[in-house]
Chains A and B, each alone.
Chain A
Amino acid sequence: MDDACYEVLGRSRRGEPLRHVGTLRAPSDALARAYARWLYDEERWLDLAVVRRVHLLGVDGAGEA
């Protein structure tokens, strides 16, 4: 079973930033969404999203060396 790594982002309340809340592995976007809902149910999220880790592009030299 080929799984991809997904980052999970959530916003608890209006006015708060969208923050990183965890990661998970899933074989599809559909299962990633399903898993995020139940893995991270410690809060009632205003927004919860998943994105494949490969789509996060680091920016070199942006900050601390």
Chain B
Amino acid sequence: MSALADVLGGLAAAKHGLGYRLAFAGLSAPAIEAAVATVALAQEELGHARLLYASELRLRGGGGEDEGAVGAAIQTAPPVPELVPAPDDWAQVLATLATLDTALSLWLETLAESAEAWLRSRAQRMLDEETFHRDYLRGWLDVAAAEPRLREGVTAGMSVALARYRPWMDALARRAEAAGIAAPPSGARLESTVSALVAGTLERREGNDDAETVS
């Protein structure tokens, strides 16, 4: 159980870092609608962090049933700030979402198959919210596809982020294997998932009518 608790703790710290950075970066979004959406996303990510911290606590035998009580005891600053650096601009916000949020969703999909029913339902709850995060990200990647400066910034940001998150994914995967989880998501799987996301949005060629952009 302690190996699985380590995995949940690692995911909680990452969600915490992501939510924290989105909270600060959200105010500088390029439109008020996007600022509202990003701040809402930040709250949801912090809510996921709280749920994962509570889940880790439960596995370590320390209660964790009351999410509210867990949240009241957690400090606001994320425990591993260097895991999610502060985005300098909107391109980096999108790059962080495209990489880290994708990575975390891959993990939630794995947890949604867990042998523990309580963990399966918590993971599914978070995945249901991540659907909307994914739609939001895809919408912005479609915008970036048509804006060269933004596209360039997102592409460069993703490259840097993937270099950071690949080894992180691999380390977490090793811990998950020790916990008996079969085929946990690796750095390579993150890379191929992000590539597929980008191929369908950011790198969409001219003349592809899949995206419903406003003409």
List the B residue with the shortest CB-CB distance to A2: B214
**B198 at the A interface (CB under 8 A):** no
Q: Is B214 touching A28 in the complex (CB atoms < 8 A)?
A: yes
Partner-contacting stretch, out of B68-76, B106-114, B132-140: B132-140
Tell whether B31 is near chain A: CB-to-CB under 8 Å.
Answer: yes
With known contacts A1-B30, A24-B33, A26-B33, A34–B132 Cβ distance under 8 A: yes
Q: How far is the CA of A25 from the CA of B138 in the complex (A)?
A: 17
B30 near A30 (CB under 8 angstroms)?
A: no
Contacts of A27 in B (CB 8 A): 139, 142-143, 213-214
- B23 in the interface, Cβ–Cβ < 8 Å? no
- Identify which of residues 124-179 in chain B touch chain A, using a CB-to-CB cut-off of 8 Å: 132, 135-136, 138-140, 142-143, 147
A34 CB contacts on chain B under 8 angstroms: 37, 132, 135-136, 139
A-B interface, 8 closest residue pairs, ranked by CB to CB distance from nearest: A31-B139, A38-B40, A30-B139, A4-B214, A29-B212, A35-B33, A34-B136, A28-B213
Contact of B142 with A25 in the complex, beta carbons under 8 Å: no
* A40 closest partner in B (C-beta): B36
Q: For A37, give its contact among B132, B147, B211 (CB under 8 Å).
A: B132
Residues of B within 8 A of A (CB): 30-31, 33-34, 36-37, 40-41, 132, 135-136, 138-140, 142-143, 147, 211-215
Question: Pick the contact of A30 from B36, B138, B147, B215 — CB < 8 Å?
Answer: B138
Whether the Cβ atoms of B214 and A35 lie closer than 8 Å is no
| Binding site secondary structure of chain A | mixed
Q: Does A21 contact B (CB under 8 A)?
A: no
11 contacts between A and B (CB under 8 A): A1-B31, A26-B33, A26-B139, A30-B138, A30-B211, A31-B136, A31-B139, A31-B143, A34-B37, A34-B132, A52-B214
Interface residues of A in 8-65 (CB under 8 A from B): 24-31, 33-35, 37-39, 41, 52
Majority DSSP secondary structure for residues of B touching A: helix
Kindly list chain B residues whose C-beta atoms are within 8 Å of the C-beta of A33: 135
Of A26, A27, A28, A35, most buried by chain B (CB within 10 Å of CB) is: A27
Complex: A33 Cα to B136 Cα, angstroms: 9
B141 CB → nearest A CB, Å: 10
CB–CB B212/A30 < 8 A: yes
Bound together, the chains give a CA A26 to CA B147 distance in angstroms of 15
